[in-house]
Structure 1
Amino acid sequence: MATAAAGGTLIIWWPAFTLGAYNAVFFDDVLTLWAVATAVLLSGAILRKREALPWGGWLALFLPSLWIVLAIVAPRTKGFPYLHYFEEVLNLVGAPILTWLLSRILLPDYAELPVHERLAAVAVTLIIGVLAFLLGQFNYLFLTCADFNVSGNNPPAHCAQGPPLSRV
């Protein structure tokens, strides 16, 4: 359970933080989710573990690829101007779902785990996502604009002025 929860939180924490700090999920976060989901999808196909997931699970693993196809065929200027909402939902909903899917595929005794343990991995991912969002919203309490600059990120609109708090 801890491994699945850790995997899910690695995917959700940064998109949730940037949504809190910048009111946006960045494309590289969506591409990270795409890479992990596609790796699990292809691994499951190669290992022939299709029975490990219901058809909806395999469809969920394909959603990040669908986002890329939509981004290519539907230009934002005229085709689908709200594609960024799909990106945000994909990341914030996709990470907990990916946690559940990874658990089903990677843990051989997954079905034998008590329901509360299976749900706990997804719950941990959701909790980390909410906490990361709040840390992004209130970044000015523990980070400065200089911290964002030093890390190579643009400072969000509501960051605190001052020298970097984290020393490199």
Structure 2
Amino acid sequence: MAGTLVIWWPAFTLGAYGAIYFNTLMTIWAVATTVLFSGVVLRSRGAIPWGGWIALALPSTWIILAIMLPRGGDFHFIQYFEMALTLVGAPILTWLLSKILVPDYATLSLFHRLGAVGATITVGILAYLLGEFNYLFLTCTDFSVSGNQPPTDCAERASIRRY
């Protein structure tokens, strides 16, 4: 569930706007850093494998790169890194959170462990598609009222009365 909370909004905004915004990346940073600190506290349990430590450090690496690299211009590497961090990071966070928080995680079958990550990936894909096809069920007003900039392809008004 935690991974789903991390992935749905960035996937939706990627579909609706073709971009992932900084507030989403900061949420992933907060979750990853919390799991990282929890892993330090619970390190005697061996809850996080070495690859997990690297994955959890990626959001902080993104922040350091964003501080060090020039803004604007033709340097788009950081934008691709942001997308990869978001779309790959949420399933990894789901896996690591499960490993840390579910005491019997190691006894679960591989099918059940992969199923949890698969559910997160599926929700991310569905959220992306909902963002891509937002005009089918949302209006520009829905975006404006929520405090978001309406995407270029939003529907001006609903074809049926919703309220």
Correspondent of 2:89 among 67, 71, 94: 94
Q: Please list every run of 5 or more consecutive structure 2 residues that lacks an aligned counterpart in the other structure.
A: none
Correspondent of 1:66 among 61, 64, 68: 61
Counterpart CA distance in 2 for 1:109 and 1:10 is: 23
After superposition, what is the alpha-carbon deviation per residue over 1:37-76, rounded to whole angstroms, capped at 9, x for unaligned? 0001011112334622221111100100000000001123
Q: How many residues align?
A: 162
Matched, 1:18 2:9: no
Correspondent of 2:132 among 134, 137, 143: 137
Counterpart CA distance in 1 for 2:85 and 2:45 is: 22
After superposition, what is the alpha-carbon deviation per residue over 1:118-160, rounded to whole angstroms, capped at 9, x for unaligned? 0011000000000000000100000000100000000000000
SS of 2:46's equivalent in the other structure is helix
Matched, 1:46 2:37: no
Counterpart CA distance in 1 for 2:100 and 2:162 is: 39
State percent identity of aligned pairs: 62
Matches within 5 A, 1:112-123: 112-123=107-118
SS of 1:77's equivalent in the other structure is coil
Q: Is the 8 A contact 2:144 2:150 kept in 1?
A: yes
Counterpart CA distance in 2 for 1:144 and 1:113 is: 43
Give the 4+ runs in structure 1 shifted more than 6 A: none
Residue of structure 1 in register with 2:146 after alignment? 151
TM-score for the superposition, normalised by structure 2? 0.93
Counterpart CA distance in 1 for 2:44 and 2:18 is: 38
Counterpart CA distance in 2 for 1:159 and 1:113 is: 43
SS of 2:147's equivalent in the other structure is coil
TM-score for the superposition, normalised by structure 1? 0.90
After superposition, what is the alpha-carbon deviation per residue over 1:68-94, rounded to whole angstroms, capped at 9, x for unaligned? 000001123369432111111100110
Counterpart CA distance in 2 for 1:61 and 1:79 is: 28
